Chains A and B, each alone.
Chain A
């Protein structure tokens, strides 16, 4: 069993042991995954919001133009 490569906030090495073939302990792997998923979730959310806004603007603009014509 190898020690985890991650460092704690106080700069000390993580005391957890890693699984075979891994560089980080289960917790840090899961934590990295969780952070990545959160970023992915935020990005997806942002894209969805931007998409909705753009669609909304487009529809409003189209409505206004069709009224003028």
Chain B
């Protein structure tokens, strides 16, 4: 079973990768590989990195996980050559014998930075995809119902859409920053303004229900839940566009902070949504989306922790990515 965090795009039709363990390799057929290369061509950082491939020489050490574990627990170490340099051998600390050879792969610092950017974008893309699925489940039923109180989020989305088509990089950046501000403000206001107090006021047993002033409690719950549901929809939309906007700026740390700021409110929000699920008809078409919301309105902050651990190995010929000279 291939490791889903590892992506190997090979430079030829051969199925042997020199830089990744077979268990970590996803083999791309010719068509898929061509699509991946096309995606790489659209990432300016990759194209720039490829253009500079011959500028410097940096070697990346590729260690099998079991050897890496031994180095981390201190039972093995890289051969010290002095002056801060290490050799290409891994030695057992106690016995002093060689336990493994380090594979070295030539990369440039620019390309490394590009690869980190791709890893970041891949993680952010995963988050966006998850939010899109939740969003679709809600949108299917809501079918474009509008609410004035959600206007700030909509405005942020419109500004982001303008940013996407802006050709001037400075204008684009300004619009993205503005969209982030709107989306953050709108999302935070919605999270804080949603009133769940009706849940606590509801009677929870037959006797209490019989003497309740609400003649039709299920109908009352549904009418209250509808606004909460719409707000949740806007919060998810805002979150999705925030991830996209921070991704465009390549600022996952800022996204992390924006998530931390609303973490406690979101926890209450999700718990209350979970409670509300049991108050709605089991056959309701809201049920699935409310359950999905109760399990995660915002991207999980821990998803972002995976960014440095992503291993993406891309093998290609520079000519496949970079445009011909003079273009």
Binding site for B on A (CB under 8 A): 8-9, 14-17, 19, 21-22, 25-27, 29-34, 36-37
Question: Across the interface, do B205 and A17 meet the contact criterion of CB distance under 8 Å?
Answer: no
Which residue in chain A gives the minimum CB-CB distance to B218? Answer: A30
With a cutoff of 8 Å between Cβ atoms, the chain B residues found around residue A36 in the complex are: 210
Given A17-B278, A27-B281, check contact A34 B204 (CB 8 Å): no
In Å, the complex CA distance between A25 and B209 comes to 13
B279 and A26 contacting across the interface, CB-CB below 8 Å: yes
Q: What are 5 A-B contacts with C-beta separation under 8 Å?
A: A31-B281, A32-B206, A34-B216, A34-B219, A37-B210
Task: State the CA gap A22–B205 with chains docked (Å).
Answer: 7
In terms of DSSP, what is the predominant structure of the interface of chain B?
loop
Q: Nearest Cβ in chain A — how far from B223, in angstroms? A: 13
User: For chains A and B in complex, what number of residue pairs have CB atoms within 8 angstroms?
Assistant: 52
- Interface residues as binary, B181-209 with A (CB distance below 8 Å gives 1, 0 otherwise): 00000000000000000000010111001
Given contacts A25-B278, A30-B217, A33-B206, 11 further A-B contacts (CB under 8 A): A8-B282, A16-B278, A19-B204, A27-B280, A27-B281, A29-B206, A30-B221, A31-B218, A32-B206, A34-B217, A34-B218
**Contact indicator A29/B205 (Cβ below 8 Å):** yes
Question: In the complex the two chains form, is A16's CB within 8 Å of B217's CB?
Answer: no
**With an 8 A cutoff between CB atoms, is B283 at the interface?**
yes
Minimum CB–CB distance from A39 to chain B (whole Å) comes to: 12
A19: nearest chain-B partner, CB-CB = B204
Closest residue of chain A to B278 (Cβ to Cβ) is A16
CB distance from B200 to the nearest CB of A (A): 13
Closest to B210 in A: A33
Distance to closest chain B CB from A24 (angstroms): 9
CB of B218 within 8 A of CB of A27, answer yes
A50 to chain B, nearest CB (A): 23
**CB–CB B209/A16 < 8 A:** no
Report how far A37 CA is from B277 CA in the complex, Å.
24
Contact A27 B205 (CB under 8 A): no
Residues in chain B near residue A33, CB distance under 8 A = 206, 209-210, 212, 217
